[in-house]
Structure 1
């Protein structure tokens, strides 16, 4: 009996090794834990030096409009945002908690991956009930570096056209 080849289904995830998938899932989990912990120095370390971080409404993303709520083009800009969070932005303090879905791999190479994951961010202001703050999906380009996997690009595409008050902390 000769083996048969079953073609991949249209839209099927690319094949990657178990270790790479676990490393990508761990990157997502570690990122959520870092931004939820409030240790802002951790956040830029998830990115390459020449990264892109963009928080953009779904409508703008789908129509190809460049306008984004937040747009940073380097790790240095992320570090400037951390400085702003700590030193210059005045706001009611709050906690945030990320719930992130399992990453879906859209493309994979030996040192580069394209992945997506749904997310929901809950916000809790002191002495108030928790509320849904931001919901959407991450669209990421992840690269292998000597320090491990890093985001070369992270688009946070949020579903609502409206955001409550302001976005201070990373999504």
Structure 2
């Protein structure tokens, strides 16, 4: 049964989205996994694959432990040209509220700036999210970034 979202929950949800973008944009990779539940799903997938029901994704993680491993890899083992990301995220559109679980989506655009280069549009699409109430506040149980383009430039090092 779907219920209405209380103002306090709406505020907490919009703050979750804003805080998430801020942490990722700042490159605080050790904080990134803390936005998720232990048994979370994080996926980045092209729109075409999503709409056709194809499972192939650019990134796919199925636990907070896998997110922590990715964060460690970014900090310690991956070699790449450093760049900055900047997220512009629309307000979440609440699709369903049920017993401490919020299904929602939000449009996003991510801009990338490499050192000594112009800023470019890196990735654009929407996130399909399941947010749950935990003792530590709202957390993502599922976060799927569905990007509009069939192509992404080079490689995807940092999470969206």
Aligning the two structures, in what range does the TM-score lie when normalised by the shorter sequence? Answer: over 0.9
For the residue of structure 1 that corresponds to 2:60, the secondary structure is: strand
The answer as to 2:54 corresponding to 1:65 is yes
How far did residue 156 of structure 1 move? 0.4
Aligned to 1:132: 121
Give the one of 22, 29, 37 matched to 1:48. 37
Give the one of 75, 83, 88 matched to 1:99. 88
Larger Rg: 1
Deviations 1:102-141 (A, max 9, x none): 0000000231000000000000000111000000000000
Deviations 1:63-110 (A, max 9, x none): 111000000000000000011101111110000000000000000023
Taking the aligned partners of 2:43 and 2:138, their CA distance within structure 1 comes to 19
Contact kept? 1:32, 1:98, Cα under 8 Å? yes
Contact kept? 1:14, 1:106, Cα under 8 Å? no
TM-score, normalisation: structure 2 = 0.97
How far did residue 14 of structure 1 move? 5.9
Contact kept? 1:58, 1:158, Cα under 8 Å? yes
Taking the aligned partners of 2:135 and 2:102, their CA distance within structure 1 comes to 16
Runs of 4 or more, structure 1, over 3 Å off, are none
The answer as to 2:9 corresponding to 1:20 is yes
Aligned to 1:3: none
How far did residue 16 of structure 1 move? 1.1
TM-score, normalisation: structure 1 = 0.91
Contact kept? 1:14, 1:105, Cα under 8 Å? no
Taking the aligned partners of 1:14 and 1:160, their CA distance within structure 2 comes to 34
Aligned pairs, how many? 159
Structure 1 unaligned spans of 5+:
1-12
